[in-house]
Amino acid sequence: MSGFMTALKVQRWDDHRYYHHSLVNQSLHLLSAASFVCAYVVMFSDPALAALIAWLVAMTTRQIGHLFFEPRGYDQINQATDEFKEEIKVGYNIKRKIVLLAIWALSPLLLVLDPTLLGLFTPHDDAMEFIRHTGELWLIVGLAGVAFRAVQLFVLQDVQTGLVWVTKIATDPFHDIKLYHKAPLELLAGKRAADHLAEALADDLPAEIPVEASKSSV
């Protein structure tokens, strides 16, 4: 169990130090995290609505932060090129994200072509039913996206790496709130780039993580 928790801390450390330099990105992640927490609560009573919140608000704000506000040049803090960071990314790097987001955006067309989705749904009678079916379809897309990458990691690395990543994805909203709750105030104060995150992550880091320890191509 200690090995699992250490691996989780390493994945979190890599994610935050490599991909969360911009305070705009951090602020958008805070909004995304709060939206995901709301989606988690709603999931128990209305999974379709939860999926709509997760994709339309939480995922959209999160990916806007990464795609438009996070610097993509040479990372002076970590002494790493963008190409290197993308290569070792455990979860969804930019290329994988684009594929996943394309599937998400185009998936409602399936309901236009076949309102029953091969018998899964009763054909929708109005726009509201179409939206609810879209939410249910997006729930499937989200779960399938997580499962697909987890299986890839099982094959490319090992089962623990995949399970650690799934755990990280599920708990990221809570962790992001802890890390980035000050980002909007710092942004309003005129800052644009975050200070190095080692201090913010101090309670979560293993004693010392050598730079090479978290570098593994997947």
Q: Quick one: pLDDT at residue 192?
A: 85
Q: Quick one: pLDDT at residue 193?
A: 86
Q: Determine contact, residues 194/26, Cβ cutoff 8 Å.
A: yes
What domain range includes position 146? 2-196
Q: Quick one: pLDDT at residue 204?
A: 55
pLDDT tens digits for range 131-173: 999 999 999 999 999 999 999 999 999 999 999 999 999 999 9
User: What span, in angstroms and rounded, lies between the C-alpha atoms of 205 and 198?
Assistant: 8
Q: What is the pTM of this model?
A: 0.88
> How far apart, in Å, do the first and last CA atoms of the chain sit?
23
Q: Quick one: pLDDT at residue 157?
A: 95
**Does any domain span residue 212?**
no
Task: Return the structure tokens found at 148.
Answer: 């697909």
Q: Tens-of-pLDDT digits for all 218 residues of the chain?
A: 679 999 999 999 999 999 999 999 999 999 999 999 999 999 999 999 999 999 999 999 999 999 999 988 899 888 999 999 999 999 999 999 999 999 999 999 999 999 999 898 999 999 999 999 999 999 999 999 999 999 999 999 999 999 999 999 999 999 999 999 999 999 999 888 876 555 555 555 554 454 444 455 55
pLDDT tens digits for range 21-33: 999 999 999 999 9
The helix (H) or strand (E) run that includes residue 197 is none
Q: Which of left, alpha, beta for 114 (phi over 0: left; psi -120 to 50: alpha)?
A: beta
**Does any domain span residue 205?**
no
Q: Quick one: pLDDT at residue 172?
A: 97
**Does any domain span residue 201?**
no
Q: Quick one: pLDDT at residue 203?
A: 52
Closest C-alpha to 200, from 186, 214, 210 = 186
According to DSSP, residue 199 is labeled: T
User: What span, in angstroms and rounded, lies between the C-alpha atoms of 73 and 58?
Assistant: 26
**Does any domain span residue 186?**
yes
- Return the SS3 of 81: coil
**One-character DSSP codes across 116-142:** TTTTTSPPPSSHHHHHHHHHHHHHHHH
Residues 6+ apart with CB under 8 A from 194: 20, 21, 22, 23, 26, 183, 186
- Return the SS3 of 181: coil
Task: Return the structure tokens found at 113.
Answer: 């072509």
What is the number of other CB atoms lying within 10 angstroms of the CB of residue 122? 10
User: How many domains does the chain divide into?
Assistant: 1
Closest C-alpha to 32, from 202, 216, 215, 184 = 184
Q: Quick one: pLDDT at residue 41?
A: 98
Taken in order 143, 146, 149, 153, the sign of the CA dihedral is negative
**Does any domain span residue 175?**
yes
